[in-house]
Chain A
Amino acid sequence: MEILERTSDVMVINMGPQHPSTHGVLRVELKTDGEVILEATPHLGYLHRDFEKHCEAVLWGGVIPYTDRMDYVAAMNNNFGYCLAVEKLLGTEIPERASVLRVLVSELNRIASHLLAFGTYGIDIGAFTPFLYAFREREMILDLFEHCCGARLTYNYIRIGGVSRDLPPEFEPKCRRLVRTMREAIPEYNNLLSYNQIFVARTRDIGVIPAELAIAWGCTGPVLRGSGVKWDLRKDEPYSIYPELQFEVPVGKGEVGTVGDCWDRYMVRLREMEQSVDLVEQCLDRLKPGPVMAKGTRSVKPPKGEVYHRTETPRGELGFYIVSDGGKKAYRCKVRSPCFCNLSILSEIAPGHLIADMVALIGSIDIVLGEVDR
């Protein structure tokens, strides 16, 4: 979109931090000419809790509950990323069952997280009904998590060396029922929202991110794949048991508009849900009895050294850079947050859009402020 010739004074508007469609406490300072955005500056830090400094103050295992609180809608994936990084430093072998369980719960959490993104995106655009459908299924997943780890949001399930406890017997039948329900539900979502002409008209050709721009700004996850770049760490830099599982990486193809518009990013999430459902089923088939925790990982003391490990969370590439001085606590821990990098592109793509499109844009990037601010 080209910026219209200025006809009135520039007005500064603060969108947020209490705006419902900023998905948390994001403040975007908008310079507007009438309804057209000239400049958008995101202001962060309202939810800053000093995660990285906390890591230096608590024991290695005690960091995991804090990672829960980073990306609180996909806490399993955060636990997973941190534990893999520490295990890389330790060189621990993880029991087979624990590895399968970890992938199982993180794929379930990916579905839950994308369901939330799908539902709230509908609300942002003005369709309330899909939200209720999304939360119906999300509720089932949270129930499963409550059974396997005792909490519905802050799981603390994946631990250094395995997982905290084995699955209860009722988990597997419930999970298989969820797989069946999800397979029926996703076409329903497509009919309800994806191909709804009003929704398409609101998201088509809005916030186009060309592939080069997405790479240049360090976007990852559905934002990058929405622009047509086939990059998924589960395939390209596989970890845990992902190399043994079959799945595809959906990318945006520009079906209703330009490649890399809001609709493409939205659709990548829905298609990823389908793939995650397949992954969950494969994991359930692979479950064999066995230990769920490696021996000697109760209180760990990783050797001196540093490590960087990155994993694919629902929002993109989550990296943990950890330095150990051989003690009971980390010397330094740095997090590469996918949401932070994805959000930074907002100031590049927002100018020229209308204020109403800003809501569609923020929703399509799907940020969680807990992780942006940490």
Chain B
Amino acid sequence: MHGDWVCGVYEYFKAIFLGIWSTLVGMRITMARFFDYVKDPLYQGVTVQYPTERWKVAEGYRGMLFNDIDDCIVCSQCANECPADCIIIDAEKAAKGEDLGKTSNGTPKKIKAWRFDIDLNHCLYCGLCTEVCPTECLIMTDAYDYATYSRDGLYLLFARPEKYTTAPAGASPAASPAPEAKPA
């Protein structure tokens, strides 16, 4: 009985000692790192004063979508590919003899878009739409800070119906003017 008691006390203090010892082992790493960071010029001024200073995002970052409607041939491949169905296109073939102009790489445009909307509320930012785009007019910009006060702010309207004189029946040109998506 007496031996058990001594053994219990020994175990008790051993546990306390080991606890303190292993904490000190950890603290040594913490302190070593602390002085590393104080000395190392790489870690000087790590804090970025966010709205005024910014990190550069990586090349090919998948941010806000932007469509250059002047270059768009309205092929609807992006809308077909989109897994979230967030690209909404209403289009009409050009009338005979009507010239819609050319894209920047010389492809003649044959379809006019009454509506080219992207609902960023539903967007997955997967980038599949930009990969199928034949004229590379639909791109992912490196804009990442576009929080808005309402969901409407994330509803991007790219087609500019005022270019055309009359809207076809059924097409619903958006009432509000198209906000410019600004690539950062």
Residues of chain B with a CB closer than 8 A to A147's CB = 58-60
| Cβ B26 vs Cβ A196 within 8 A | yes
- A151-B62, A156-B128, A192-B30 are known; give 11 further A-B pairs, CB within 8 A: A61-B81, A64-B126, A65-B83, A146-B61, A150-B58, A150-B62, A156-B127, A168-B59, A197-B18, A197-B22, A298-B132
Tell me the bound Cα distance from A303 to B100 in angstroms.
41
What residues of A have a CB within 8 angstroms of the CB of B62 in the complex? 149-151
Number of interface residues of B (CB under 8 A): 28
Q: Are B60 and A197 in touch, CB under 8 angstroms?
A: no
Q: Which residues of A contact B19 (CB under 8 A)?
A: 197-198, 201
Q: How far is the CB of A35 from chain B (nearest CB, A)?
A: 21
List of A residues within 8 angstroms of B21 by Cβ:
197
Cβ–Cβ < 8 Å partners of B80 in chain A: 59
Q: Is A164 an interface residue (CB 8 A)?
A: yes
The majority secondary structure among interface residues of chain A is helix
Number of residues of chain A lying within 8 A (CB) of chain B: 32
Are A65 and B22 in contact (CB-based, < 8 A)? Answer: no
Most buried by A among B62, B80, B83: B83
| Candidates B22, B59, B125, B132; contact of A196 at CB < 8 Å | B22
Report the nearest A residue to B83, measured CB to CB. A62
Contacts of B178 in A (CB 8 A): none
Set of chain B residues within 8 Å of A168, measured between Cβ atoms: 58-60
Q: How far is the CA of A314 from the CA of B118 in the complex (A)?
A: 35
- 26 contacting pairs across A/B (C-beta < 8 A): A61-B81, A62-B81, A62-B82, A62-B126, A64-B126, A65-B83, A65-B124, A65-B126, A65-B128, A66-B124, A147-B58, A150-B58, A151-B125, A156-B127, A164-B127, A165-B60, A168-B59, A191-B29, A192-B30, A195-B25, A196-B25, A197-B19, A197-B21, A197-B23, A198-B23, A298-B132
Q: Is there a chain A Cβ closer than 8 Å to B131's Cβ? A: yes
Given the complex of chains A and B, what is the CA–CA distance between A63 and B30 in angstroms? 44
Contact partners of A61 in chain B: CB under 8 A: 81, 128
Is the pair A196, B23 in contact by a Cβ cutoff of 8 Å?
Answer: yes
A210 to B96, CA, bound (A): 77
Query: What residues of chain B lie closer than 8 Å to A165, measured between beta carbons?
Result: 60
Nearest chain B residue, comparing its CB with the CB of A200: B22
8 Å CB contact of A191 from B25, B83, B127, B132:
B25
Q: Is the CB of A59 within 8 A of B81?
A: yes
Taking a contact as CB atoms under 8 Å apart, the answer to whether A146 and B22 are in contact is no
Nearest first, the 9 A-B pairs at minimum CB distance are A62-B83, A65-B126, A150-B62, A197-B18, A58-B83, A146-B58, A150-B60, A197-B22, A156-B126
